[in-house]
């Protein structure tokens, strides 16, 4: 399977992004949604930041509901009742906190490769269910509206929210569409059989099988007709966790979904799934092997090694341009051929 990485990868690096506020530092710019708008390529970047800490205090950035703004909470590292052992978390006896927080940032390009990155957040936490950040956007265009779904993290769990914009200037948040814990949502770009459809990934605390589900909706907000679409496979690249990555796109053979799968060693790859054109609950084919896996140095070494994760692709004829996060650290671009994917799928 030929995956053509462009030569100037990573196309967006940590050093390219300005922190959103004083006292903060960027630790990653990665999983991004993508859209075409007025002839330009827009990326909606997940920007992860942390508060600058020191040897005495761990500092946790979060949106404070009562104060109605971002705050930085300090935790004394000498406090033995608090668990600081995992750098990603501060665990008090009563509450889990995240040491970093993400917002969504817009980047604009004429050629799809060189991007101007906005200095300020496009979509940032501003309510209770977003207090620990907003992550991993997918953009679905329907006519003149662009629907953005994203994971929202809070002490209530990981939920998926929806927002919409017509101009990538003003945005309306439409609230929670999938309850805790549910992420990796990708909404199909047109109605099928009179319904909207979404791929999503509920997770059970008890049974812990993160798999891909599909549901339909009349209004894109309330979903029913829930069913499990794509299960974990022992011994394969998607043996431990899987979920939708890109927004599905229609081909002559059906809906093509580029999804992510992860194995027991936390190696994240991309796979392909072909769904029936008129009934997306029918899986026509699924790749046995990854269609993209970590090979380049910037994919194999970084904050989370061997992680390839995409939230969006652009399709032009036979070419699929996949924007992806490498190692939860930077944004890269690579290209696949639709016909090659079909071959891999045996269709």
Interacting residue ranges for a second copy, rule: CB under 8 A: 94, 96, 128-129, 154-159, 175-182, 202-209, 211, 213, 217-219, 221-228, 234
SS3 345: helix
Check if the beta carbon of residue 136 is closer than 8 Å to that of residue 200. Answer: no
Distance from CA of residue 243 to its chain's centroid? Answer: 10
Task: Tell me how far, at minimum, the Cβ of 28 lies from a second copy, in Å.
Answer: 19
Nearer to a second copy, 237 or 323 (CB): 237
3-state SS, residue 337: strand
Given the complex with a second copy, which of 29 and 48 has the nearer CB atom?
A: 48
For a second copy, give the closer residue by CB, 21 or 221.
Answer: 221
Question: Which residues make Cβ contacts (< 8 Å) with residue 241, sequence separation at least 6?
Answer: 210, 232, 261, 262
- Cα–Cα separations (whole angstroms), residue 9 to 12, 14, 41, 195, 233: 8, 13, 17, 39, 31
Minimum separation from the CB atom of position 92 to a second copy (A): 12
Number of Cα atoms under 13 Å in the Cβ half of residue 320: 26
Min CB(48)–a second copy separation in Å: 17
344 closest CA partner among 280, 269, 278 = 269
C-beta of 254 vs 280, nearer to a second copy: 280
Cβ-based nearer residue to a second copy, 56 or 227:
227
Of 178, 179, 294, 309, residue with least CA distance to 241 = 309
Q: Nearer Cβ to a second copy, position 6 or 156?
A: 156
Residues 72-101, buried b or exposed e (16+ Cβ, 10 A)? Answer: beebeeeeeebeeeeeeebeeeeeebbbbb
In angstroms, what is the minimal distance from the CB of 200 to a second copy?
8
Task: Tell me the closest approach of the beta carbon of residue 216 to a second copy, in angstroms.
Answer: 8
Distance of closest approach, residue 4 Cβ to a second copy, in angstroms:
37
Smallest gap from residue 164 Cβ to a second copy (A): 15
* Closest to 106 measured CA to CA, from 17, 11, 189, 186: 17
> C-beta of 128: minimal distance to a second copy in Å?
7
Nearer to a second copy, 159 or 336 (CB): 159
Identify the DSSP state of 25: E
Q: Which is nearer to a second copy, 209 or 277 (CB)?
A: 209
Nearer to a second copy, 7 or 81 (CB): 81
Dist CA 46 CA 293 (whole Å): 21
Tokens read off for 274: 């072909």
Torsional sign, CA 49, 267, 43, 302: positive
Cβ atoms of 337 and 4 closer than 8 Å: no
CB of 212 to a second copy, least distance (A): 11
């Amino acid at each position: 399977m030929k995956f053509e990485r462009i030569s100037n990868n990573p196309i967006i690096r940590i050093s390219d992004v300005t922190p959103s506020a004083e006292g903060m530092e960027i630790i990653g710019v990665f999983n991004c949604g993508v859209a075409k708008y007025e002839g330009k390529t827009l990326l909606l970047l997940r920007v992860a930041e942390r508060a600058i800490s020191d040897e005495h205090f761990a500092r946790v950035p979060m949106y404070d509901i009562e104060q109605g703004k971002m705050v930085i909470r300090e935790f004394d590292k000498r406090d033995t009742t608090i668990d600081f052992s995992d750098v990603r978390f501060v665990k008090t006896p009563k509450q889990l906190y995240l040491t970093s927080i993400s917002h969504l940032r817009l980047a604009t390009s004429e050629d799809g490769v060189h991007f101007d990155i906005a200095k300020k957040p496009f979509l940032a936490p501003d309510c209770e269910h977003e207090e620990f950040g907003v992550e991993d956007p997918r953009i679905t265009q329907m006519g003149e509206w662009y629907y953005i779904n994203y994971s929202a993290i809070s002490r209530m769990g990981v939920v998926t929210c929806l927002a919409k914009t017509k101009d990538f200037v003003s945005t309306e948040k439409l609230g929670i569409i999938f309850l805790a814990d549910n992420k990796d949502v990708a909404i199909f770009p047109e109605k099928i059989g009179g319904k909207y459809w979404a791929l999503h990934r509920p997770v059970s605390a008890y049974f812990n099988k993160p798999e891909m589900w599909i549901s339909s909706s009349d209004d894109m907000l309330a979903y029913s007709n829930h069913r499990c679409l794509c299960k974990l496979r022992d011994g394969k690249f998607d043996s431990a966790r899987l979920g939708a990555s890109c927004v599905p796109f229609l081909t002559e053979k059906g809906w093509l979904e580029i999804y992510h799968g992860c194995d027991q060693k936390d190696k994240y790859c991309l796979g392909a799934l072909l769904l029936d054109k008129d009934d997306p609950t029918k899986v026509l084919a699924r790749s046995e092997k990854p269609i993209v896996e970590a090979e380049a140095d910037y994919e194999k070494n970084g904050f989370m090694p061997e992680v390839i994760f995409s939230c969006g692709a652009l399709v032009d004829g036979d070419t699929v341009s996949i924007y992806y996060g490498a190692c939860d650290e930077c944004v890269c671009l690579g290209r696949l051929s639709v016909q090659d994917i079909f071959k891999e799928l045996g269709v």
